[in-house]
Amino acid sequence: MESINLIIKNACQLLTLRSGQKGPRTGEHLADLGIIENGAVAISGDKIVAVGKTNEVLGKVSIGKKTKVIDAKNKVVLPGFVDCHTHPVFANTREDEFEMRIKGKTYQEIAASGGGIKSSVKALRSKSKKELIQLALPRLDRMLSYGTTTIEAKSGYGLSLEDEIKMLEVIKELNKIHPIDLIPTFLGAHEIPEEYKNNRKEYIKLIIEKMIPEVAKRKLAVFCDVFCEKGIFDIEESREILKAAKNHGFKLKLHADQLSSLGGSKLAAEVGAISADHLEFIDDDGIEKMKKSGVIGVLLPGACFGLGIKEYPPARKMIERGLPVALATDFNPGSSMTESMPMILSLACLMMRMTPAEAIVASTINSAYAVNKGNEIGSIEVGKKADLVIWNVQNYKEIPYRYGVNLVDHVIKNGEIIPAPHRQDLTRRNPV
Amino acid sequence: MESINLIIKNACQLLTLRSGQKGPRTGEHLADLGIIENGAVAISGDKIVAVGKTNEVLGKVSIGKKTKVIDAKNKVVLPGFVDCHTHPVFANTREDEFEMRIKGKTYQEIAASGGGIKSSVKALRSKSKKELIQLALPRLDRMLSYGTTTIEAKSGYGLSLEDEIKMLEVIKELNKIHPIDLIPTFLGAHEIPEEYKNNRKEYIKLIIEKMIPEVAKRKLAVFCDVFCEKGIFDIEESREILKAAKNHGFKLKLHADQLSSLGGSKLAAEVGAISADHLEFIDDDGIEKMKKSGVIGVLLPGACFGLGIKEYPPARKMIERGLPVALATDFNPGSSMTESMPMILSLACLMMRMTPAEAIVASTINSAYAVNKGNEIGSIEVGKKADLVIWNVQNYKEIPYRYGVNLVDHVIKNGEIIPAPHRQDLTRRNPV
């Protein structure tokens, strides 16, 4: 019998996310939650060693004096959320732009007048690594408190060799000091910086000849991403950058078809990207090509919500055509200022008509595949990392249904219990 | 010099909500936040005794050994939110209906098949007062944790004399044992109960001849409300009920023009209601009549969001025509399952194009007037009740901008500090 350090038992629903389908889930498997009622999970070190009905698991493992036991009676257990598209390192919030948009200005107009990504670039360049780390830590705390245990984290507010390296080093340090796992993405091609605005070819050359080799050499990023959009990087430029990155061993991602139907989704298929993200304006051909090439569609309803725009990605069509979809916050100060994955699940259900089950698969196992970690995280199976969240609900459907609030009871990260982030009952007097 | 028990000082923005306009704010006054930079508030007992710049307030009051001092440096202080339309007492959550709606069923179809309010009625009738109190307490805790200090609370899931009285007694008891102030509303006219479905006149007679007099006699409600809607209570029936309630001394509210343009807004004006609530389908004449009669428009964007419908109340038009508007959660298990007022502010800004300032006025001083307490709560002024919230933000605009998360630092209710409901930094290790 295996000696274990933590067991969670009696969960009214244990969502294992096991499925008959390997790889990212599609079609009917997109709703495969692998639910075990009265379920238990046993953990040794940072790994899951047993999963099943509570009595079965209790029969398999040895509970010693040092084994912590969590009774999850009347609670639901899920894998930790994998937030597979975030920009968590930034220097300034942009609430004034939020108000300008409400008053009628578009995202593009604000960008053209010196706001937008350029405003974040200016602010970020003026901060030290230490300052950026201090600013990012409470954001990661908040992510963890809402049930996220792994994130993808992008650079892209530096836009110079020095400042992009600085951002990626901040992400590396955050990964070291914070329980959340951060998977770094180099996004030097997020925007053309001010100093290159009349010389965009030079900036692209800088990315390809200096930044990509340097980031590769220092092993500071796993992924390379490009913001492929009208007025940012066109299809040709994006292709050139992504191919250079591929040659240096990066996996690829792409901001695609967000504000217009430029064809980023097809480019993602062509270059063999792991994911294409946004996809508000994807067309049928884009869906087909992504599907054939095994590219995951990462949907970011928070960016639509935060920008106050009505066009959401055509999630139902993608699902019906068999394209694997994942969900993420797109946490960033310009368009989606939320650290909360449950909020994104609510938006996915209400704005894109994904079912609660589909939304959970898309934000756990499918988003794990979207960061190329589908074999390590994203489901509750023996051998996987012990990243779990216990929810103060009796039915998983409550998670998107009860919107805008925090229903997390406990977060388990790498097999360790993170102190309960929320005590909703602190104000309780003596009830009758 | 006055002896005080609590002082909050150095707030980077203290939003007093003072205005040149008395009564609910309209027009340009709807954005009157009365901001004091580097502000302070002094509290004696449960009342505000001084408000101003920190150095002015410190010069006016006497700080003794027992005076608690909160340094609100880099924080924003607001009046507590007044959530002026809620249904917090219920027995069952209805996440299955949430999923049915995502799959294409309408609210009306679900109601017709035994779901909807009828499902809540069935569940509520089977519970004891004690059980209902235990179920409601964590909801009130969560409201408080998101910055709400006063709520209006409706009956309406009993729909029999006995069960409506039971609900109102639960609300009375909650008001006694929980820090939040609950203002009770009798909503016996929420739906025709199953046992009267072929005899609606009898049910209306029961409301008018038995329920209203009994609730009045026992002083269990301040307001009487009616769900005036096609298939629920028509204009004639609503008028009859509201007039009877008025004769028994109730103030009036009305669920009006939510799912169709039936004319509830005009009825609210005719009977002199304090507020008409919902108003998704209000027409120009309704706006004019409400304005002339001084009826406040209570907007509930959470009900549109939670139902996944696209028609939001025409807030900008109401504001431009000079109608006073307030905001509330409509917290209820059928259409709006959130306790969070900040979430409602985000929806008001993003879905109805209210500015952050307008949304704050609508959820503090204007919603205080919507529960007839505009002279006691809703602003930070000398003589008002010390219901305040300190926010972990440096600009009030962050509150709607940073959506779906909890940014509350401290809640002060009746002059008492409620333990910090959220510790976002619990997971912090030793940062570099």
pLDDT at A425: 42
Task: Provide the 10 A C-beta neighbour count for residue B420.
Answer: 16
Q: Looking at the partner chain, which of B102, B338, B421 has a beta carbon nearest the beta carbon of A353?
A: B102
Q: Do A419 and B427 touch (CB under 8 A)?
A: yes
Q: Say which CATH architecture domain A2-79+380-423 belongs to.
A: Roll (2.30)
Q: Which residues of B touch A151 (CB under 8 A)?
A: none
Mean of pLDDT over chain B? 95
What are φ and ψ of residue A388, in 5° steps?
Answer: -135, 155
Strand-pair category, B388-391 with B325-327: unpaired
Q: Which residues of B touch A428 (CB under 8 A)?
A: 137, 141
3-class state of residue B22 by DSSP: coil
Residue B132 pLDDT class (50, 70, 90 cuts): very high
Residues of chain A with pLDDT under 50: 422-432
Looking at per-residue confidence, does B91 or A419 come out higher?
A: B91
% pLDDT > 70, chain B: 97
pLDDT one-digit tens code per residue, B324-356 = 999 999 999 999 999 999 999 999 999 999 999
Of B298, B224, B285, B223, give the one whose Cα is nearest residue B256: B298
3-class state of residue B325 by DSSP: strand
Q: Do A355 and B103 touch (CB under 8 A)?
A: yes
Token reading at B376: 């006691």
pLDDT one-digit tens code per residue, B139-186 = 999 999 999 999 999 999 999 999 999 999 999 999 999 999 999 999
Q: Do B431 and A133 touch (CB under 8 A)?
A: yes
Q: Cα separations (Å) of B78 from B36, B53, B396, B412? A: 11, 15, 9, 10
Chain A residue at shortest CA distance from B309: A350
Q: Looking at the partner chain, which of B421, B424, B432 has a beta carbon nearest the beta carbon of A145?
A: B424
Name residue, tokens 């069509």.
Answer: A317
Q: What secondary structure does DSSP assign to B45-98, as a single string?
A: TTEEEEEEEHHHHHHHEE--TT-EEEE-TT-EEEEPEEE-S-----S---HHHH
pLDDT at A375: 98
What is residue A209's DSSP assignment? Answer: I
Give the mutation candidate from A90, A172, A403 for the B interface (greatest B CB count, under 10 A).
Answer: A403
pTM: 0.97
Chain B residue at shortest CA distance from A97: B401
| Residue A400 host element (H or E) | helix A398-401
Name residue, tokens 């609530």.
Answer: B277
Alpha-carbon distance of A378 to A341, in angstroms, equals: 14
Query: How many alpha carbons fall within 13 Å on the CB side of residue A294?
Result: 8
Q: Looking at the partner chain, which of A350, A404, A431 has a beta carbon nearest the beta carbon of B404?
A: A404
> Which CATH number, 3.30.499.10, 2.40.50.1070, 3.20.20.140, 3.30.70.100, labels domain B81-370?
3.20.20.140
Chain A residue at shortest CA distance from B176: A431
Q: Which residues of B touch A103 (CB under 8 A)?
A: 353, 355
Q: Looking at the partner chain, which of B95, B142, B420 has a beta carbon nearest the beta carbon of A395?
A: B95
The strand pairing partners of A69, in sequence order, are A7
Token reading at B59: 């010069």
Task: Provide the 10 A C-beta neighbour count for residue A395.
Answer: 15
A298 and A276 Cβ atoms separated by less than 8 Å: yes
Task: Provide the 10 A C-beta neighbour count for residue A64.
Answer: 9
Total CB pairs under 8 A between chain A and B: 192
Q: Which residues of A touch B395 (CB under 8 A)?
A: 93, 95
pLDDT at B429: 40
Q: Do B424 and A306 touch (CB under 8 A)?
A: no
Q: Do A340 and B404 touch (CB under 8 A)?
A: yes
Chain A residue at shortest CA distance from B105: A353
Q: Which residues of A touch B419 (CB under 8 A)?
A: 426-427
What is residue B198's DSSP assignment? Answer: T
B82 and B54 Cβ atoms separated by less than 8 Å: no
CA distance A24 to chain B (A): 23
Looking at per-residue confidence, does B231 or B81 come out higher?
A: B81
pLDDT at B147: 97
Token reading at A391: 């929810």
**Residue B107 pLDDT exceeds 80:** no
pLDDT at A424: 43
Sequence-ordered alpha helix ranges (H) in B90-158: 95-102, 107-112, 117-125, 129-145
Q: Looking at the partner chain, which of B95, B177, B398 has a beta carbon nearest the beta carbon of A397?
A: B95
Q: Looking at the partner chain, which of B401, B419, B430 has a beta carbon nearest the beta carbon of A98?
A: B401
Across the range B78-106, mean pLDDT stands at 96
pLDDT at B259: 87
pLDDT at A428: 44
pLDDT at B432: 32
pLDDT at A309: 87
**Residue B15 pLDDT exceeds 90:** yes
pLDDT one-digit tens code per residue, B38-81 = 999 999 999 999 999 999 999 999 999 999 999 999 999 999 99
Per domain, the residue ranges of chain A are 2-79+380-423, 81-370
How many helices (H) does chain B have, and how many strands (E)? Answer: 17, 20
Q: Do A99 and B177 touch (CB under 8 A)?
A: no
Q: Looking at the partner chain, which of A402, A421, A430 has a beta carbon nearest the beta carbon of B426?
A: A421
CA distance A103 to chain B (A): 7
Alpha-carbon distance of A427 to B144, in angstroms, equals: 8
Task: Provide the 10 A C-beta neighbour count for residue A284.
Answer: 10
The ipTM, to two decimals, is: 0.96
